[in-house]
Structure 1
Amino acid sequence: MKATVYYGKRDVRVQDVPDAKIIDPGDCVVRITSTAICGSDLHLYNGFVPTVVKGDIFGH
């Protein structure tokens, strides 16, 4: 599947990553047909969230 991966301030890349797996009974996997960004994404992208580290995947 595709994911937006954080590499540093203002450096994110769309990459192929392993498919998500169902682990708990309440988990589900959905097919995404469109997406957008929000203010939280911009804070992450601009490096304003110190807990984000290289390799983290954006999305919520």
Structure 2
Amino acid sequence: MNMSPVLTSLAATGIVVIMVLAMGFHARRKEPSGIAFNAVLLIVAAIVMWGRFGPHAS
């Protein structure tokens, strides 16, 4: 079994969790540019997660 797809999926999941927490941090400090940057990274990581965990994952 190749571990790369599994590690990629776990890494993307971890990044999504971190970005959600970071967005809360920036919202608390009223930093909209930080929220926007974290949102972009969250979307990219979520796309990777969908590709690895989604219905067409191999």
User: Relative to total residues, which structure has the larger strand share, 1 or 2?
Assistant: 1
| TM-score (structure 2 length as normaliser) | 0.23
| TM-score (structure 1 length as normaliser) | 0.22
User: Relative to total residues, which structure has the larger helix share, 1 or 2?
Assistant: 2
Q: Which has the higher contact order (CA 8 A, sep 6+)?
A: 1
